[in-house]
Amino acid sequence: MRAHKLLLAIAGLLISDAAVAASGHALPYTYQPDTSNIASMQRGARDFMAYCSGCHSMKYLRYNRIGNDLQIPEELLKSSLMFTSTKVGDQIHSAMPAEASKVWFGQTPPDLTLETRARGASWVYSYLRTFYVDTTRPVGVNNLVLPGASMPHVLWELQGWQVKEAAHEGGEAAEHGEEHHGAPLKLVQAGTLSPDEYEKFVGDIVNFMSYAAEPGKSIRMGVGPKAMVYLLLLLVLCYLLKKEFWRDIKH
Ligand code: HEC
């Protein structure tokens, strides 16, 4: 009985990244991060530094670790990723003093190193895609998955502006399944990227953030099979050794 419950709990942990927000509501978009796509994570790292590190830190990650893991040469690392620091061994701090940002936004922008593990990749992906115009909010926007968010829509130039579609508010679930219509939002002013390009842009950032949350993961996946082969060989050797010892004793 107890084993049964334990199994259920483990299964629950495994699917915790599924398309379910903490509140139990379905998320408008799902996203399966790809931390084997180096090019995408390189773009994500570049974009994160350019658009996010002004406010958010990633203080459990160092620049040279990113450089090694994502195969970014030191020169490029220094010239195009390191805006808030000069030493490659430094952790990624935000450019903004925590106290001041609390006054400006009412919230200190949280550290994002472990964000995709805390909220799930699909949540972060949905968050970055579902800012919409809301003039009742101090920052002029609201967010579908974080209602009342105090973060401005920092990617508006790329995405453009979305508004909430009144018709959907009654809950026409059937229409939500359509491609690019996962959220009841309508683009009313285009940005510099097409909706498809913006989707990929956000995907790159989420891939990078998923790497940042577990930088050892792809390395661990590589080590796993080798460790299994090693253990199997060891097992065979131990078995042969055991046979060897017992032969003398039996006769
Ligand atoms: C101008 C400052 C600023 C910039 C730039 C910024 N953010 Fe934020 N961000 C905030 C603030 C403030 C919050 C807190 C929102 C709240 O809790 O209401 C926040 C919250 C978040 C959260 C939700 C945290 C949580 O779990 O509640 C995520 C995810 C996030 N930001 C991602 C990003 C990403 C990715 C970028 C770059 C594309 C970015 N932010 C750029 C200020 C900023």
Assign 247 a pLDDT band (cuts: 50, 70, 90). confident
Looking at the structure of the chain, the number of domains it has is 2
The pLDDT score that the predictor gives to residue 101 is: 80
Same domain for 246 and 183?
no
Distance CA 203, CA 199 (A): 6
52 CA distance to ligand 1 middle (Å): 8
Residue 17 has pLDDT above 60, yes or no: no
Distance CA 222, CA 231 (A): 15
Q: Is the minimum distance from the CB of 152 to ligand 1 under 6 angstroms?
A: yes
Q: Can you give the pTM of this predicted structure? A: 0.79
- Which region among 30-34, 100-104, 142-146 has the lowest average model confidence (pLDDT)? 100-104
- Ligand 1, atom nearest to 96 Cα: 2
Domain contains 1: no
Same domain for 140 and 237?
no
Distance CA 81, CA 79 (A): 6
Range of the domain at 236: 224-251
The pLDDT score that the predictor gives to residue 177 is: 43
Domain contains 7: no
Nearest to 34 by CA among 21, 43, 46: 43
The pLDDT score that the predictor gives to residue 21 is: 46
**Segment 58-85, tens digit of pLDDT:** 999 999 999 999 999 999 998 888 877 7
177-185 mean pLDDT: 63
Query: Taking the CB of residue 230, how many other CB atoms lie within 10 A of it?
Result: 10
Q: Is the minimum distance from the CB of 156 to ligand 1 under 6 angstroms?
A: no
Domain contains 151: yes
CATH number at residue 139: 1.10.760.10
Higher pLDDT, 10 or 161: 161
Domain contains 148: yes
Assign 178 a pLDDT band (cuts: 50, 70, 90). very low
Q: How far apart are the first and last CA of the chain?
A: 47
**Mutational test site, ligand 1, from 53, 56, 99, 142, max ligand atoms within 8 Å of CB:** 56
Domain contains 17: no
Same domain for 200 and 131?
yes
